[in-house]
Amino acid sequence: MTKAVRKEIAIFSQFYDPEPCAASNRVASLARSLAGRGHYVTVVTGMPTFPKGIVDASYRGIKGCVEYDGPVRIVRRRAPLAEPGALASRLRNWVSLALVLTWTALVELRHTDTVIVSSPPITMAIPALVASWRHAATLVVDVRDVFPEMGVRLGVWSSRSLVVRALDRFVKLLYARAAIVVAVTQSARESILARGVPPQRVVLAPNGFDFSQEIKPRGRRQQRRTFEVAYAGNMGLATGLDMVLDAAKLLLDRRDVRFVLAGGGLDASRLVERIERERLTNVRFLGVLSRPESLELLAESDAAIVPLHAGLIDAIPSKMFDALAVGCPMILSARGEAVQLLRASGCGIHVEPNDARALAGGIERCLAERDALERGALAGQAFVRENFDRERIMRGLAREIGALA
């Protein structure tokens, strides 16, 4: 790339490395891919708070800072934090950070040619729109979850509520302003097209797995006396981990089945209290793990549980790609596009979502079919490397963004 076509690109995101979540991984991969093509990339974000809802210890007492992730410049600003844990508090945190970053977009951000916003939360669109207007910059919207549909499907909002109507208008404005809108699944792309966005402006760039990470070789699990099923990820509304604990309760008398939960988030403390209160001795809670530790947990487990709220038919959890990449068979409790991916990969079994008895039965089925599961897991590794190499996907998206006028 010649110097003449290098662009100043600003990415607005609620999450960025070192926060251990899918959003952070996706945004970091895109930022690095853009920088790798010679662009000057600035990520505008807050202090790391995910998943505990409090500022990471290494950033406490700092109001703002500038860091570098290789050639990527990171501008961090601190927003007032409410009490962690409650959904309302988290919403207030999102709004407060959006307002702080709006000031950054107006006053502090240097000249910018292209503005990218990664959503959710949808509040990040506010500073991105302001930056796009302030600098007369091209706008790109990366839609990881379609709003307000996601909130309605999760039961957070009524479809006729004032909040949904207001968000619907805001999203239409956002899409109309965007040069391209990026969708992570085909069904999400169809939802965006249904809002009247021209097909040539809606780009599909799915999530995937970063194969530059070290993957621990997966040994044979058949020699172990217990069958260990693991969940590693965020613990919030979309996952419905109460169903996993219900299944554990149903299997409490089976000494050959153990559950391992790792992660944090909105529901984490409540789930721990339930495990202790109901004496679920077959469940081990590990808390928040680093990215390498989470992948190692999956590599050492007999199966990974991937639960998803039944209403989220247009979502593919990134933890599916993690399980595929390390060769861990899946027990998928979901509907929609995630089920299609499972069947295409041949790595694991599907059970109906929000059904603890179905999940318990699925685990017993996996226990009885270990050899077949392991063979499917090997096929799944090849499948994800061929079709969902995140670095390759982000390089393609970076080319599209770089080509925008």
Domain ranges in the chain are: 3-208+389-402, 227-387
User: What is the residue-wise DSSP string for 224-275?
Assistant: SSSEEEEEES--STTT-THHHHHHHHHTTT-TTEEEEEE--STTHHHHHHHH
Better-predicted residue by pLDDT, 37 or 85: 37
Identify the top-confidence range among 164-178, 309-323, 387-401.
387-401
Q: Confidence band (pLDDT; 50, 70, 90) for 302?
A: very high
Architecture of domain 3-208+389-402: 3-Layer(aba) Sandwich (3.40)
What does the pLDDT look like over 201-220, one tens digit per residue? Answer: 999 999 999 988 777 766 55
Over residues 114-127, the pLDDT tens digits come to: 999 999 999 999 99
Name the pTM for this structure.
0.90
The CA-atom distances, in angstroms, between 161 and each of 119, 121, 157 are: 21, 19, 7
**What are the residues whose beta carbons fall under 8 Å from the beta carbon of 40, sequence distance 6 or more?**
6, 7, 8, 9, 73
Tokens of 109: 């951000």
Q: What is the pLDDT of residue 1?
A: 42
Report the run of H or E that residue 64 belongs to, with start and end: strand 64-69
Query: Above 50 in pLDDT, residue 3?
Result: no
- The per-residue pLDDT for range 233-248, each reduced to its tens digit, is 888 877 889 999 999 9
> What backbone phi and psi angles, to 5 degrees, belong to 207?
-70, 175
| Residue 111: DSSP 8-state | P
Instruction: Kindly report, residue by residue over 40-71, the tens digit of the pLDDT.
Output: 999 999 999 887 778 888 888 889 999 999 99
d(C-alpha 389, C-alpha 394), whole Å: 9
Please give the CATH topology (third level) of the domain spanning 227-387.
Answer: Rossmann fold (3.40.50)
**Whether the domain at 3-208+389-402 and the domain at 227-387 fall into the same CATH topology:** yes
Q: Give the helix ranges, DSSP H, for 315-355.
A: 318-326, 337-345
pLDDT of residue 383 exceeding 60, the answer is: yes
pLDDT of 34 = 97
Phi and psi angles of residue 292, each rounded to the nearest 5 degrees, phi first: -60, -40
